Amino acid sequence: MRIHLVRIFSLTLLVQLVVAIGLAGEPNREVVSPDKRTVACPPPIEPLRYEFDLKSGGGFTVKVKGREYRLESSYSYPHGGENRMLAGRPDTKGETTWKAKTEKLDEKNYRVRAAGKYYALDRSIEVQPTRVMVKDTFTNTSGDVVGIILDNHINIRGDKGIVPTRMNKLTAFVHDRQSGVGIIALDDLYQFQEKPRFADGLASLRNENFGLDKGASYTIEWAVYPTASDDYYDFINQVRKDEGLNRRVEGSFSFVPRRKPPEKSFMDLFNLKYISIGCLSNPPDDPTLGIEGIEFMEYPQECRMLKQTFAQTKRMYPDVKIMFHVAHGLYACNNPEKRFPDSRVIRADGKQIMYGGDNPKYYSRYFSKEKVEQGWRWWIFYPTMENSFGKAMLEVMHYMVDELGVTGMWADGFISGYAYVDGNDGGYSYDHWDGHSVDIDPKTKLILRKKTCVPWVALPVLVKVVRIIAAAGGVTLTNEGPDFVTPRSFWNEEVIASCEGSPKSVIALHLGRAPCSLSSAAKNAEESYRDILQKLEYGSLYFMYVHKMDHKTLLEHMYPITVESIHQGMVRGKERIVTKNSGVYSWPGDRCLHIVYRYDSTGHLAGNNFLSTADKSGVHTELRLEKDESAAVVRIPVEISSTSPVNLNVRHYDADGLSLALNGRGEVSFRLKSDKFVVKPGTAYQVRSSTSQNVVAGDAATLEFSLTLAGPTTLEIDKQ
């Protein structure tokens, strides 16, 4: 083993050197000279420039890099066809009275009005730097309830070189080789009712269930996002930034034992900051049944035991959010008509739905034979601010926080309330009318039935639930499938969005706060690690659910993270970048050093000799990852300044100290702030390189010092 330009001052330093060697991956390999190679600054992100043009037909175009994209709309009318807003001349195939009148209000705002026999449309358009915001206010001008099949779309008919990339819930995206356009539904009702599709050259956000009472009005909101690339994630990230979807996630999540706090080794293994007890099966009050929803309050023995477990857990892990599984829509009973008669989710055939269907064999796995024969089921109810179930749910939430002492809720099926099960596709209830949800005959365009959009009418209660938990310093973790994306009302609330891991569900998390997918089933630790990579491929962080992990892996350095953007194979945050992609990584203009934690193809922490270059534009780190490898590039609070490029590799940074290899020439200045490595004001620290110097920490708990480089060297600082 060769040691280059390292002065051994003591046995202690030798031990530190051995640790640094192990973390670097090869025996104290020198960092290459910047005269021979440097890591170039990543190219700047191309700024978005686009042109907007409102057409006489009421539609409009956006032009990006010379490519024009057409944004149009269509609306059905009773007994007829469609009225349309076209990105060209006015429509002549709809109602004879339908004429779009366009008006430019100023350089950023436009207005379009049109009216037919049954409804009038007043459209406002605001051209913003990153998007075109559209608000379509429909007013029923007929003497009866009217249903409208509405469709906002990107028209690419006859446009060569444009293809649709993704048609996900709430969004549609098309692109050529250097630009693209996405559309997104923004108001809650539109988000719940719409179904994206691509057909006949139209990339659409289609709503086939929209209705208006006589004299009523409603505003549909949607937006158009031009992009200066063909990358779907550029569209999604701009939405996330504009709408405030990005948030901090302190650590990972896992379910834990019900009757005792988890072991510290388990907490450390998965870097856990959110833990939840699972379903409350077989409570001591009545071991013959399983509890899923808010009915746990009826079982005082179970509640006392929960309270005891939570108190013990809080004492052991005061900075961890503790919670238990609540699927609020499911209620175990055998008398649903008497429990909450005004809150039952009713199918079109008039029957109340239940989670497992009317299937005694299914329920025999969770309830005793006697309970099943007595009609016990997980019946589906829904909350509103006015109905009995909504009032009970709010009472339960206060009890959870104030009496049981939880600081979170694992909210299973939180948005949908599982209103879509048991043959009830779409999550509607036919017990009453919400004023805007209807079944429409696709041929006659007439209303067949009125209904209620369960997640939409439940929103006021669900928002209040989240705020009750947040007021106690807690957070709500939502678990949903692909068809019930976290709606806009929650985009700035104290929630973290999760799902159970199918590709469609993970993609749906692109419009959820965080996002963090649950693990899928695995046979061993290596399969669990591969599952982490699969979720990362879709731009998702990772929560543990089903796992076979017996060693620390990427989760160890995945958190904490304040998400800034998501990408294919990467999540970028303020503190770190988690990736499975080779490339150059940096925080533009930032001068903090990076430490890289590389994980090999089996998911074990491995050494790294990845090169960083510090120059006038900041610090840049190049990753060269092999198949199935991954890494966390972590910013550390050590700023560097130099007059010429410096190459480096941070080999070690933690509570015990800092170790890095350097190569360059000239004076280099460092500023180390107190963080993981604690810096105490007024305390002297020994800074060792080719020479040794004592540096006294300033009043701001920082160490500031300079070195003169003349080639390869190392830098070592350890705690006193």
Closest C-alpha to 719, from 1, 11, 16: 16
Contacts of 66 (CB under 8 A, 6+ apart): none
Average confidence (pLDDT) over 455-476? 98
Place of tokens 């100023």: 106
Average confidence (pLDDT) over 27-45? 86
d(CA 466, CA 471): 9
| Dihedral angle of Cα 250, 251, 254, 258, to the nearest 10 degrees | -60
The ranges assigned to domains in the chain are 11-42+564-718, 51-242, 248-501
pLDDT band of residue 1 (cuts 50, 70, 90) is very low
Cα distances (Å, whole numbers) of residue 97 to 92, 122, 215, 443: 10, 15, 19, 21
Average confidence (pLDDT) over 242-262? 96
Structure confidence at residue 642 (pLDDT): 93
- Number of neighbouring beta carbons within 10 Å of residue 125: 22
Contacts of 704 (CB under 8 A, 6+ apart): 669, 670, 671, 672, 695, 698
Provide the strand spans (E) within 436-482. 437-440, 447-453, 475-479
**Is the model's pLDDT at 29 over the cut of 90?**
no
**Is the model's pLDDT at 4 over the cut of 50?**
no
**Is the model's pLDDT at 51 over the cut of 50?**
yes
Cα distances (Å, whole numbers) of residue 644 to 34, 640, 664, 667, 669: 9, 11, 8, 9, 12
The CATH number of 51-242 is which of 3.40.50.620, 3.40.50.2300, 2.70.98.30, 2.60.120.330?
A: 2.70.98.30
Average confidence (pLDDT) over 2-25? 32
**Is the model's pLDDT at 316 over the cut of 60?**
yes
CA angle 347, 353, 359 (to 5 degrees): 130
Length of the chain counted residue by residue: 720
**Is the model's pLDDT at 8 over the cut of 60?**
no
Reported as a single tens digit per residue, the pLDDT across 658-677 is: 999 999 999 999 999 999 99
**Is the model's pLDDT at 16 over the cut of 50?**
no
Cβ–Cβ < 8 Å for 281, 548: no
**Is the model's pLDDT at 10 over the cut of 70?**
no
d(CA 318, CA 315): 6
**Is the model's pLDDT at 156 over the cut of 50?**
yes
**Is the model's pLDDT at 17 over the cut of 50?**
no
**Bridge-partner residues for 146, per DSSP?**
212
Structure confidence at residue 549 (pLDDT): 87
Structure confidence at residue 118 (pLDDT): 97
What integer best gives the mean pLDDT of the chain?
Answer: 93
**Is the model's pLDDT at 97 over the cut of 50?**
yes
248-501 carries CATH number 3.20.20:
yes
End-to-end, the C-alpha distance of the chain in Å comes to 29
pLDDT band of residue 28 (cuts 50, 70, 90) is low
What DSSP letter does each residue of 650-693 carry, written as one string? EEEEETTEEEEEEEEEEEEEEEEESSSS---TT-EEEEESSSEE
What DSSP letter does each residue of 211-251 carry, written as one string? EE-TT-EEEEEEEEEEESSS-HHHHHHHHHHHHT---EE-S
Cβ–Cβ < 8 Å for 419, 454: yes
**Is the model's pLDDT at 442 over the cut of 80?**
yes
d(CA 404, CA 307): 5
Average confidence (pLDDT) over 172-194? 97
Structure confidence at residue 663 (pLDDT): 96
Reported as a single tens digit per residue, the pLDDT across 563-575 is: 999 999 999 999 9
Average confidence (pLDDT) over 390-408? 97
pLDDT exceeding 70 applies to what percent of the chain? 96
Q: Return the half-sphere exposure (C-beta side, CA atoms, 13 A cut-off) of residue 518.
A: 22
Structure confidence at residue 24 (pLDDT): 39
Contacts of 675 (CB under 8 A, 6+ apart): 636, 637
Average confidence (pLDDT) over 598-627? 95
**Is the model's pLDDT at 644 over the cut of 90?**
yes
d(CA 122, CA 140): 12
Catalogue the long-range contacts made by 127-132 (C-beta closer than 8 Å, 24 or more residues apart): 127/52, 129/48, 130/48, 130/225, 130/238, 130/241, 130/242, 131/223, 131/224, 131/225, 131/226, 131/238, 131/242, 132/52, 132/60, 132/62, 132/71, 132/223, 132/224, 132/226
Reported as a single tens digit per residue, the pLDDT across 332-344 is: 999 999 999 999 9
Reported as a single tens digit per residue, the pLDDT across 514-530 is: 899 999 988 899 999 99
Cβ–Cβ < 8 Å for 670, 705: yes
Structure confidence at residue 502 (pLDDT): 86
SS3 313: helix
How much helix, strand and coil, in percent to the nearest 5, is found in the chain?
Answer: 20, 40, 40
Reported as a single tens digit per residue, the pLDDT across 200-229 is: 999 999 999 999 999 999 999 999 999 999
Average confidence (pLDDT) over 346-365? 95
